[in-house]
Amino acid sequence: MPKIAIVGGTGIYNPDSFETIKTVFPDTPFGKPSDEIMIGKIAGVEIAFLFRHGRSHQHPPSSVPYKANMWALKELGCEYIISACAVGSLKLEYAPGDLVIPDQFIDFTKKREYTYFDKKTVHISMPDPFCNYLNKIFADTAKGMGIKYHVGGAYVCIEGPRFSTRAESNMFRQFGDIIGMTVVPECQLARELGMCYCSLATITDYDVWHNEDVSIEIVIRTMNECLAKVLKLLELGLPKIDRKDCTCIDAAKGCGAI
């Protein structure tokens, strides 16, 4: 069974490097996941791949079945979640085309299902929501590739699907480094299930605080330009994941979540 899962968009799925073995579409107590989960190999490493928004982009950020997605991957035996996503930059030095491996998030979402524990009180500790072990692996890999990357930073997660107003963008700049729509509640649900979570965030724009208004055309164009290096990062980084040298699972055990 695959221990590693990649959650991302259609561009991250590359049939030239992903050797598909089978697909599954499991039922969970929270419904079906976003789409069929493909099980295969990248660089010889067994992987589960899930389209976060569905293969046809049928799930906007607010209605992604996050609870079903994380539950299904856990049931498949996954211990590590690698999230590939596009984000906007809130800092001048975080430029479009750069890779960011965040270590914090700030939640500005409004209407999502945030926890598996709706029928009992569970207070899970998440001072460091992203997995330091995975972050280091991909930071070291990015350094070896010679690409421009940033380790650390706060990901401001907004509800979407619209982009920020100019006033909001300038407000968010006081708190965070990058801005996106999907890390919450995905990251915290993974922690509740004792899974390690890492975000590989590609900067596609400067949001709307800078010189250019953001549009989906800009996001898609920049993401496509950066796709090759993200795929190479995965190919080189995934084989290095060989042990669980972190405390992600301890938080879930400590509060009785798992």
**Helix or strand or coil: residue 175?**
coil
Please check whether residue 134 is in contact with residue 198, taking contact to mean a CB–CB distance below 8 angstroms: yes
Mean pLDDT taken over the chain: 93
**Quick one: tokens of 175?**
């708190």
Q: Could you give the C-alpha distances from 258 to 194, 207, 231, in angstroms and in order?
A: 7, 38, 33
Beta strand residue intervals within 129-195, DSSP E: 149-151, 154-158, 178-180
What digits encode the pLDDT tens for the residues 211-247? 888 888 989 898 889 989 999 999 999 999 987 667 8
pTM of the model: 0.95
Of the listed ranges 1-15, 81-95, 104-118, 167-181, the least confidently predicted one is 1-15
Burial of 133 (0-12, 13-18, 19+ CB in 10 A): middle
CA distance 9 to 12: 6
Show the domains of the chain with their CATH numbers.
4-254 (3.40.50.1580)
* Active-site position among 205, 242, 245, 250: 205
- Considering the candidates 103, 207, 213, 242, report the single residue annotated as catalytic: 207
C-alpha 65/C-alpha 29 separation (Å) is 12
In the residue annotation, 207 being an active-site residue is answered as: yes
Which pLDDT value is given to residue 120?
A: 86
Place of tokens 């993401």: 223
